[in-house]
Amino acid sequence: MYYIGVDLGTSAVKLLLMEGSGKICNIVSKEYPLFFPHPGWSEQNPEDWFAGTMDGLKELLDGCDRSEVAGISFGGQMHGLVILDKEDQVIRPALLWNDGRTYEECDYLNNVIGKEKLSEYPTEVIGQTTPGDDKAQITADIMEFINQGADMVVCSGGMSVDPDDRTPGGIRDTGARVVTYGAPVLPGAMLLIAYYEKEGKRIPILGLPGCVMYAKRTVFDLVLPRIMADDEIFPEEVAAYGEGGLCLNCKVCTFPNCGFGKGR
């Protein structure tokens, strides 16, 4: 039997054909264009997603017995806006997750909501930069804050697996020891925790997924108390978050008096 994996990314749809044993039989990638009609805007035609996926499936299964396909798993890119009419027909290009026309609203999220959790602790924010998707600049900015004496560096956004998600690579290029890239927690599965060693001091570097900017409770709420207490986090402890790792988004939030991320 065969199994198909489809990953609809920002720049291409990637398809994989695998046997039940785990043997990979074929991999296909179909690129499609991005459109930038104005500075900071990022759009794509949903029809291109469909056409690329259909063409990719035909190529992926070329020479195979399609009746042997037992299942298909599908994953899409991050949040975007696809606008339909009353007949469910697409009426304009989709606005992608990296569209920047709402920069004023994003600035509010980053500078007000994003810092509220840190304000619960005796912290001082010594600086903030916006290096974008420039991996070398991400690394340079992290190192600059460390050289300024930062006790912790927090990076937000760009934590997924698309080609323009450069934050994980920027963190790795500092030479920091990566504890985990990924956590069995929702919201917040793309968490990265790393430690940079300097003069006997262990400086945590966090790569936070975008959900931290808008979701009330995320993986950040689970790791931040440990980080602020200078209590080193280990991979097996992150893995244990998987038991109770789904925030139920209750109408009345009782965290931390609930099962979210409590593990065993």
Residues of the chain with pLDDT under 50: none
The pLDDT value recorded for residue 78 is: 72
The pLDDT value recorded for residue 87 is: 95
The pLDDT value recorded for residue 34 is: 93
pLDDT tens per residue across span 98-147: 888 887 877 776 666 567 788 888 888 899 898 888 999 999 999 999 99
The pLDDT value recorded for residue 264 is: 60
**pTM metric for this prediction:** 0.65
The pLDDT value recorded for residue 119 is: 84
The pLDDT value recorded for residue 158 is: 82
Secondary structure, 3-state, the chain: CEEEEEEECCCEEEEEEEECCCCEEEEEEEECCCECCCCCCCEECHHHHHHHHHHHHHHHCCCCCHHHEEEEEEEECCCCECCECCCCCECCCEECCCCCCCHHHHHHHHHHHHHHCHHHCCCCCCCCCCCCCCHHHHHHHHHHHHHCCCCCEEEECCCCCCCCCCHHHHHHCCCCEEEEECCCCECCCCCEEEEEEECCEEEEEEEECHHHHCCCCCHHHHHHHHHHCCCCCCHHHHHHCCCCCECCCCCCCCCCCCCCCCCC
The pLDDT value recorded for residue 79 is: 79
